[in-house]
Structure 1
């Protein structure tokens, strides 16, 4: 599905946001894990709430690029943002 054909992302509070995000972007777990450089199990743990994503700055930048292509802003996912000691994302925008 082309990005312009997609409805805006609307999170269902009953479903974990990372799962909704991956599905909205059109990735299966294996492909998304490879893209981020993490294991399939890591994606599964994030989606089931067993673990919170612990993203590197490089992974944040990769996500930012696909978010931008999908019309999603990082501010919509504050738990995915960089840790407080990382470079300030707003300064780089």
Structure 2
């Protein structure tokens, strides 16, 4: 489910509502319209890492730089770090 609204810069922002039980990183990536490769580049990981995270093969672990990069991508779809599930 998505809701459009205007932010303080008057740019249209799409607020994504994460669906419980579905992979949140995949939902964010798809909301951004990015391939796994492009999303991986944007947050500083290898595209195979994204594949493994999305398929539950490995648990995500982030460096500080990757957390910051992921947060920037999340802002583009109206999400904050606290919107992620605790068991990510």
Higher strand share: 2
**1:1-93 map, 5 Å:** 4=12, 6=14, 8-79=15-86
- Which runs of 5 or more residues in structure 2 are unaligned? 1-10
Cα shift at 1:80 = 8.5
What is the alpha-carbon distance in structure 1 between the residues aligned to residue 20 and residue 48 of structure 2? Answer: 23
**TM-score, normalising length from structure 2?**
0.72
Q: Normalised by the size of structure 1, how large is the TM-score?
A: 0.69
* Structure 1: stretches of 5+ with no match in the other structure: 82-93
The offset of 1:56, in angstroms, is 0.5
Change (3 A) 1:72 1:61: same
- Relative contact order, higher structure (CA 8 A, sep 6+): 2
Q: Distance in 1 between matches of 2:70 and 2:13?
A: 20
Residues in 1 aligned to 2:87 and 2:67: alpha-carbon distance in whole angstroms: 8
